[in-house]
Amino acid sequence: MICRYDSPMPSAKYEHEIRDPVHTFIRVSSDERRVIDSRPFQRLRDIHQLALTYMVYPGATHRRFEHCLGVMDLAGRVFDVIVRHAHRRDEVRQFFPPDEKLQYWRTVVRMGALCHDLGHMPFSHGAEELLPEGYHHEQLSVDVILSPEMQEIWLQIPLIAKDVAKVAVGVKKWPGSESDFSPWDELMTEIVTGDAFGVDRIDYLLRDSLHAGVAYGRFDHYRLIDTLRVLPSADPDKPGKPVIGIERGGLHAAEGLQLGRYFMFEQLYFHKVRRALDIHLKAFLRAFLPAGTYPIDVDAHLRLTDNEVLAAMRKAAEDPAAPGHEPARRIMKDRAFYRVLYVPSADDLTKAADPIGAVHRAARDRFPGCVEKDVHTPVARPMEFAVDKDGAIVSSVAESQILGQIPTARFGYVFITPEKLDEGRRWLRQNIRGILETP
């Protein structure tokens, strides 16, 4: 199928449609249906999108399955928009393939988006730390996409499996070399995995917000997508590199995306109970999995879902002699999960370089076996991308009054078992000054 850059992108032949609470209808081709019906993709019906968050927000029971369908739908929309407007800039159009290759790449982008989460373990990110050192779920996604089972599907379509895998995981998580990516490859994966406008991020914010019953993740994604363009990079270290940026008219929608992401992390993803549940979940999985490590063999990976873990956890919760009984009991039977003992105040941060660490060490010595800490303090950096302002390329941070001011979501908790909570709080009130002032 041939498409010119200055003409509308032709539609693929969609023979199936799926109702979706976020995107209303997701239309699917027969080739995409082959992938959806495959064992690796059907497994995602049994992987919760937000791990045990449904124990805090009861509606958050949605799965990776529908998220991946949504990401595919959005990826197709973004591809159509950036191709439709590519003729406006000769300096970026040179990186595009010939017209007759566009339909191939549109299919690759949608397939990469569809398959980007095939490597997720039971309870998604909750089990990430149990992979062997240096391994990550994106590597598992690549392994599944390149597996013999999926290769049979790619040959029927036909698509090059490596093209799909590169789009699915991106340059940063690609197990090979960065040199495997041409400028066009980087553009294609940026549609799915990009930090600023990746459709993976767009869908999970909209979907998680809907199912959790909170409004924080909603923003004008229609306006955002319609104003996306391929632009020369605004980064002086990468002059002329084609990147996905935005027209000036879409800047407020882009600000809404970044604000929504910040609020969702603060209010939902980093919720104190959700974080406590993750600690117990990881403790159970270490006892449940052979040698406490998640398998990286593709077939073994595909056999494990939330269902197997939940069944084992429920059984262990009732049997004091079972491996992992303690965390299983706290999650499944008694709801006796960790409670917050300490969160540093602004004043505490001026008194100690690491107040979380100081309190954790002191509390662990005072209440051995009853205390855990959970900290996330990423390096703060504003979201910067190229903006087309009446033909001139400017930085989003320079153009926006908001993007440079959005804080980085972070948290720090010291947890204690509920049985020791009252005693722990009394102890901490009496000793906090000395703990923070100790060198």
Catalytic residues: 137
50 contacts: CB under 8 Å, gap ≥ 6: 57, 60, 62, 124, 208, 212, 268, 269, 274
* Residue 418 in tokens: 């509920």
58 contacts: CB under 8 Å, gap ≥ 6: none
The secondary element (H helix, E strand) that includes residue 24 is: strand 24-29
CA distance 346 to 350: 7
SS3 408: coil
The secondary element (H helix, E strand) that includes residue 203 is: helix 199-212
DSSP state, residue 128: G
Cβ density class 391-406: b for 16+ within 10 Å, e for less:
eebbbbbeebebbeeb
* SS3 readout for 177-233: CHHHCCHHHHHHHHHHHCCCCCHHHHHHHHHHHHHHCCCCCCCCHHHHHHCEEEEEC
CA distance 294 to 298: 11
Query: What is 291-341 written as a DSSP string?
Result: GG----SHHHHHH--HHHHHHHHHHHHH-TTSTTHHHHIIIIIS----EEE
SS3 272: helix
Please return the burial class of 89, using the count of CB atoms within 10 Å of its CB with bins 0-12, 13-18 and 19+.
Answer: middle
Distances (CA, A) of 411 to 124, 167, 275, 301, 374: 20, 31, 10, 31, 8
Length of the chain, please?
439
Q: Is the dihedral of CA 168, 173, 176, 177 positive or negative?
A: positive
Amino acid (1-letter code) at residue 202? I
Beta bridge partners of residue 228, listed in sequence order: 246
368 contacts: CB under 8 Å, gap ≥ 6: none
Residue 414 and residue 375 in contact, taking contact as beta carbons nearer than 8 Å: no
